[in-house]
Structure 1
Amino acid sequence: MALTLDERPTAPRPLAAPDPDARGTTAWRTWPLTVLVLAFPVWWILGLSAFVPILATVPMAVDLVRHGSVRLPRGALWWGLFVVWLLASGLMLWVDAPGAVPGGGGGRLMVYGYRVAWYLACTVVLLWLGNADERQVRTDVVLRLLGWMFVWTVLGGLLGTFLPRFEVTSAVELALPGGLRSNGFVQSLVHPQASTMTTFLGHVEYRPNAPFSFANSWGANLSLYLPFFLLGWCRRGAGWRRVVAPVVLVLAALPVVYSMNRGLWLALGAGAAFVVVRWALRGNLAHVVALATALVVAALVLWASPLADVVSERLANAHSNDRRSELLERTVTSTLEGSPVVGFGSTRDVQGSFASIAGGSTPDCPACGVPPLGTQGHLWGVIFTTGVVGAAFFLLFFVRRAWAHWRCRTPVETLAAVILLFFAIELFVYDTLGLPLMTVMAALALAWRERDDDGTDLAHVRARLRHAAPLVVALTVAGAGVGMVVAAQQPEVYAARTSLLLARPPVALDPDSGTERKNQEITVDTEAALVVSAGTLDRIDRTISGQAALRDAITITAAPNTDVLTIEYRSTDADRASAVADELAAGYLDSRADYLALRREQVLASLDTALRNAIELDTAGDSSRPLLTEERVQRYIDNVLLATTEAGEVVRSARSVRLPDEAAVPVVSGALLGLLSALALDALLSVVHRRPSGLPPVASPTPARSRP
Structure 2
Amino acid sequence: MSLQEQAGLQAIRHRGPADAPLPAWPMYVLLAGFPVWWSLGAAPFAPLVVALLMATLMVVRRRLDLVPGVMPWFAFLFWAGGTAVNLPTAISVVGFVQRYGNLVAVGIFMLYYINARESLNPRKIINGVLFLWATVVVLGLIATQVPEFRLTTPVGALLPRALTSNPLVYDLVFPPMAEIQQPWGAPEPFERPAAPFPFSNSWGVAFVVMTPVAVASVGIVRSKWMRALVLLLLAASLIPALATGNRGMLIGTALAVVYVLLRMGARGHLLRVAVLGVGAGLAFFALVASGQLEQILGRQEYSDSTGGRLSIYTETLAATLESPLMGYGAPRLDETIGVSLGTQGYVWLLMFSYGFVGLGLFVIFLAGGIARTWRAPGNTGLWLHSVPVAAAGIASFYSFDVMQMAVVALVIAVLLRARYIGEELP
Tell me the TM-score normalised to structure 1 length.
Answer: 0.54
Partners of 1:194 and 1:210 within 8 A in 2: yes
Deviations 1:281-316 (A, max 9, x none): 122222222223223333333333253442342466
Q: Could you tell me which amino acid in structure 1 is paired with residue 72 of structure 2?
A: W
Aligned match of 2:392 in 424, 432, 435? 424
Residue of structure 1 equivalent to 2:66: 72
Contact 2:212 2:256 survives alignment (8 Å): no
Paired positions, count: 404
Change (3 A) 1:56 1:415: farther
Distance 1:347 1:301 in 2: 40
How far does residue 229 in structure 1 lie from its aligned partner after superposition?
1.7
Partner of 1:241: 226
Q: CA deviation at 1:178?
A: 1.6
- Structure 1 outlier segments of 4+, above 4 Å: 315-318
Q: 1:424 to 1:80 in 2, by over 3 A?
A: same
Map of 1:5-16 to 2, 5 A cutoff?
none
In structure 2, C-alpha distance between the alignment counterparts of 1:347 and 1:331, rounded to whole Å: 10
Report the structure, 1 or 2, having the larger helix content: 2
| Partner residue of 1:63 out of 57, 71, 76 | 57
**Equivalent residue number for residue 135 of structure 2:** 152
Alignment of 1:262 with 2:247, yes or no, is: yes
Q: 1:462-513 deviations in whole A, cap 9, x for unaligned?
A: xxxxxxxxxxxxxxxxxxxxxxxxxxxxxxxxxxxxxxxxxxxxxxxxxxxx
Q: 1:236 to 1:431 in 2, by over 3 A?
A: closer
Question: 1:84 deviation in Å?
Answer: 1.5
- The 5-angstrom pairing of residues 113-132 of structure 1 reads 113-132=97-116
CA displacement at 1:259 relative to structure 2: 0.7
Is residue 16 of structure 2 the alignment partner of residue 33 of structure 1?
Answer: no
**SS class of match (1:196):** strand
> CA contact under 8 A between 2:129 and 2:213: conserved in structure 1?
yes
In structure 2, the residue matched to 1:222 is: 207
Name the counterpart of 2:172.
189
Gap change, CA 1:346 and 1:238, over 3 Å in 2? farther
Amino acid at match of 1:174: A
Instruction: Report the CA distance shift for 1:396/1:36 in structure 2 as closer, same or farther (over 3 A).
Output: closer
Within the alignment, does 1:52 sit opposite 2:37 as a pair?
no
What does residue range 103-114 of structure 1 map to in structure 2 within 5 Å? 105-114=89-98
> Would the aligned equivalents of 2:51 and 2:108 in 1 still touch at CA under 8 Å?
yes
Residue type of the alignment partner of 1:107: I
CA shift at 1:412, angstroms?
Answer: 5.2
Given candidates 71, 78, 91, the residue that maps to 1:84 is 78
Match of 1:351 in 2: 335
Q: In the aligned structure 2, how far is the partner of 1:137 from the partner of 1:404? A: 21
What RMSD over aligned residues (CA atoms) do the two structures have, in Å? 2.4
What residue in structure 2 maps to residue 327 of structure 1? 312
Q: Deviations over 1:420-458 (max 9, x none)?
A: 1111012111111411111111101111111116xxxxx
How much has 1:55 moved relative to structure 2?
Answer: 1.0
Q: Which amino acid aligns with 2:382?
A: T
1:594 corresponding residue in structure 2: none
AA in 2 matched with 1:143: I
Task: Write the letter of the residue equivalent to 1:163.
Answer: V
Q: Does 1:207 align with 2:170?
A: no
Structure 2 letter corresponding to 1:106: A
The answer for the alignment partner of 1:558 in structure 2 is none
Q: How does 1:456-495 map to 2 (within 5 A)?
A: none
Offset from partner CA, 1:383-427 (integer Å, 9 cap, x none): 111111111111111121111012223455424421111110121
Q: Which has the larger radius of gyration?
A: 1
- State the partner residue of 1:679: none
C-alpha deviation, 1:247, in angstroms: 0.9
Q: Distance in 2 between the 1:227 and 1:286 partners?
A: 19
The aligned amino acid for 2:56 is V
Asked if residue 290 in structure 1 is aligned to residue 275 in structure 2, the reply is: yes
Shift of residue 277, structure 1, vs aligned partner: 0.8
Residues of 2 paired with 1:78 and 1:316: CA distance?
A: 42
* 1:226-625 mapped onto 2 (5 Å cutoff): 226-235=211-220, 237-314=222-299, 319-337=304-322, 339-353=323-337, 370-411=338-379, 413-452=381-420
Q: How big is the shift at 1:44?
A: 1.4
Q: Is the 8 A contact 1:426 1:432 kept in 2?
A: no
Give the distance between the partners of 1:436 and 1:449, measured in 2 at CA. Answer: 20
Equivalent-residue separation in structure 1 for 2:127 and 2:405 (angstroms): 18
Q: TM-score, normalised by structure 2?
A: 0.88
Match of 1:142 among 122, 125, 138: 125
CA contact (8 A) 2:74 2:107 kept: no
Trace 1:163-174 onto structure 2 (pairs within 5 A).
Answer: 163-174=146-157
**Contact 1:412-1:446 within 8 A present in 2 as well:** no
- Alpha-carbon distance, 1:279 to partner: 2.4
Contact 1:232 1:238 survives alignment (8 Å): no
Identity of aligned residues (%): 26
- The answer as to whether partners of 2:373 and 2:385 remain within 8 angstroms in 1 is yes
Stretches of structure 2 lacking an aligned partner (at least 5 in a row): 5-19
The C-alpha deviation readout for 1:523-575, integer Å capped at 9, x for no partner, is xxxxxxxxxxxxxxxxxxxxxxxxxxxxxxxxxxxxxxxxxxxxxxxxxxxxx
* Cα distance change, pair 400–313 in 1 and its aligned pair in 2 (3 A): same
* Residues 144 and 423 (structure 1), Cα distance of their counterparts in 2 relative to 1, 3 Å cut: same
